[in-house]
Amino acid sequence: MSGYRLCLREVILVLSSALDFVGVDDIRHGKRVAFMAAECARRAGWSPEEINRLLILGLLHDCGVSSSHVHQHLVEEWDWDHSHEHALRGAELLGATRLLAEYAEPVRYHHTHWSELQALALPDDLCRQSNLIYLVDRVDALRAQQSSPEAAMLPRSYWGEAISRHAGSEFDPALCQLFYLASDNDAFWMQQDAEVLDDYLMSWAHGGAMVAVEYEALLELAFMFANIVDSKSEFTYRHSLGVKAVASLLADVQQLDTGERESVTLVALLHDLGKLRVDDAVLEKPGPFDERERLLMHRHCFDTWQLLQRIRGFESIARLASMHHETLDGLGYPRGLTANELPRSARLIAVADVFQALVQNRPYRQPMLLSEALEVMTQMVARGKLDPEQVGLLFLHAQEAYRLARQHEPGSVRSDGENR
């Protein structure tokens, strides 16, 4: 499966949509930042290449934010003391991903004050791009602090004047003036309405070229997605990486062909992407879920599919990634698929996911011992939940699987065996 053809713009937009989930109720932040930055650049007459670059930077700038708690601080506090941490984290993630590495440095500095940027002797274009992202990011945070009716009554000039108060210290005075000019029309704000903004960005994404992508580069992207998801909570930390390690072991011992092995690896890394939608408080709840929380958790498989299927060429990956909570008896979720509808790869991922979860720490229990985890899985096979062949292979390599799962932090399973 080394011959992937993908549209990188679609991948970036999907990542941005996943990051939007972190805001829970305040979604499309990255999309609004992208639009405002691109419109300012267009108003200034900058090159099409720089306009496109700013749009991408807007979509990616908060890739270091996985926690709704962190997102809340960034929205509610103008200059939060810890704001640089997510910028550094985002730069680290992007820098390790060859297809997106060129965006690492502007993201690194997108919360750095203009006065500080000037002292760093950085390239002019990097300073300009980073500071423009910072400026429109703060505009969007300021708007989020206003109730909708109240914000609608404010004059257009309010936002430009609010930013101008920080000219010369936090923002380049020239960029403050540019924003004032670009935003001084109704269309600038109307185009940020949800439906209009989504259409704008979908049109941009579909305008990107389909290009050949090597598996290794695609794997780096998948690792980036996984790291963002796994950083959401101390109780999800490195879960996807642990599932990938156990799933790869099972794929290797079965000598799966290269295509299926690569597919299993990508699905293992991407399977919990929809979990970014779940509020931190739910993930870290020390007791059983109520009905609303249970439905929210169950939704993450569907959200994973809904995101990944937007990437042309990723349809089968999206489908498999959504199946990791389906069970052979047809009582799983989100689609209630039965045994004859679940391919080997889906059964393998489900076993790896459950096992990794059982042996990791949860807010409501300590990690299980290997013997305890194997007993739970035996019961799940007996109840028609897990595939007996895949579980049997896990038993044959239990010590190695346990080592791989335990070197990565955690997933989650309740004492009744239901995987979170």
Active-site annotation, residues: 275
Name the strand (E) or helix (H) holding 6. Answer: strand 4-7
Phi/psi for 6 (5° steps) reads -135, 160
Structure tokens at 276: 């970014």
With contact defined as beta carbons under 8 Å apart, do 80 and 73 qualify?
yes
With contact defined as beta carbons under 8 Å apart, do 231 and 67 qualify?
yes
DSSP state of 339: G
- Other Cβ atoms less than 10 A from the Cβ of 164: the count is 16
* Distant-in-sequence, close-in-space partners of 416: CB < 8 Å, separation ≥ 6: none
Pairing of strands 210-213, 4-7: antiparallel
Strand-pairing partners, residue 5, are 212
* Of 204, 323, 314, the residue nearest 272 (C-alpha): 323
Q: Quick one: three-class SS letters along 144-156? A: HCCCHHHHHHCCC
Question: Helix H segments across 61-147?
Answer: 68-76, 83-95, 104-108, 114-119, 124-144
SS3 category, 19: helix
- Alpha carbons 202 and 52: distance in angstroms, whole number: 14
Which position has the token pair 């099972």?
250
Phi/psi for 211 (5° steps) reads -130, 155
Structure tokens at 383: 């109840």
- Alpha carbons 96 and 183: distance in angstroms, whole number: 35
Phi/psi for 365 (5° steps) reads -165, 160
SS3 category, 419: strand
String of DSSP letters for 357-387: HHTS-BTTBPPPPHHHHHHHHHHHHHTT-S-
Cα→Cα distances 215→27, 181, 208, 344, Å: 31, 45, 20, 21
